[in-house]
Amino acid sequence: KEKRIVAYHESGHAVVSQTTKGSKKVNKVSIIPRGLAALGYTLNTPEENKYLVQKHELIAEVDVLLGGRAAEELFIGEISTGAANDLERATDIIKSMIMYYGMSEVAGLMVLEKQRSTFLGGGMGQTKDYSEKTSEELDNYIKAKLTERYEAVKAKLETYRGAMETMTAELLDVEVIEKERVESIIKAFEEENSIVRESDEGELHA
């Protein structure tokens, strides 16, 4: 039962990662546990070395993180504790977008916190230079944005339901799937169902 949950969870990450513009593409998907921390993992690698991250790429990262939880809800019918770290990281990215990068309607171009860590989404500081009203608006914005992205991710996984089932079944059988197989499962499904995916800028498609 647990293995099945993990297989759907990781397939969710993989499908969203592979089909979302601006996301890091999948290198490997595994449902072999790595210590106590991870029951499975989806290894993503950026296409190139990057020093700047655009807004749509941050949202893509949030979507990929939410893919596991969304897959559990859609395909298992119940959520587990497996997405705790994903949700924490997704929340941190949206917080950083508002507080450091001036990428929200809440604070506009105003930086609400000085960055104490160069790590993206890392160490939020302790001092607050803004009002309770702004604090409340921030909470509401983060909650609304996570909900909006979660619904979008669920809709995407529903569209790719066939690819999800194929990938999950294969993971349960062989436990590890490499990049090429992930790509071929999704490509075959898209061709069969005439799905045209939004491609990344600058990415060459054969």
Q: Could you list the active site residues? A: 10
Helical (H) or strand (E) element with 170: helix 161-174
- Please tell me the distance from the alpha carbon of residue 71 to that of residue 183, in angstroms, as a whole number: 18
- Please tell me the distance from the alpha carbon of residue 80 to that of residue 34, in angstroms, as a whole number: 18
What φ, ψ does residue 171 adopt, rounded to 5°? -60, -45
- Please tell me whether residue 136 adopts helix, strand or coil conformation: helix
Residues of the chain by 3-state class (helix, strand, coil), percent to 5 = 55, 10, 35
What does the block give as tokens for 123?
């160490």
